[in-house]
A = this chain, B = another copy of it.
Amino acid sequence: MFINIDIESDIPVYLQLIYEIKRLIITGSLRQGEFLPSIRNLAGDIGINMHTVNKSYKQLVAEGILVKDTKGFKVGALSKRQMNRTLKKEFNERLRQILIDAAMFNLSYEEFSEWQAKVTEDIMKGND
């Protein structure tokens, strides 16, 4: 499992880790039912604090993406992956802010779509 964390980044490490795990799931590197490394192992491998890994795993459980059982954290069932009301509201707000900023900085619909396509391509390739 290749996880790319940039300690120097302005983005909090726990948030980077959340999106790295999500990226591994959507690109198929981590599959339904597959176990993630233990908190201790992952923290050791990346060289970050165990509390940070714990925070990321817990948020992914709260979002219904990971499931915790007696053996550890695993990827939850795809069929159960649905945005709840809170997540929908939060997603809506983030989309709203990004669209306001796009208009604010005069990005045309085409420029925004191109940007979106480029970012999607990078996600699928695993680039930053």
Contacts and interface: CB of A to CB of B under 8 A. Distances in A.
Interface residues of A, number: 35
Contacts of A82: 105
A16 B120 CA distance: 28
A31 to B, nearest CB: 14
Contacts of A97: 19, 94
Contacts of A87: 105
Contacts of A48: none
Interface of A: 10-11, 19, 22-23, 25-26, 65, 78, 81-83, 87, 90-101, 103-106, 115-116, 119-120, 122-123
A119 B99 contact: yes
A82 B101 CA distance: 11
Contact of A81 (B19, B65, B83, B104): B104
B119 A96 contact: yes
A83 B103 CA distance: 12
Given A81-B104, A104-B26, A98 B95 contact: yes
Nearest to A94: B98
A103 B19 contact: no
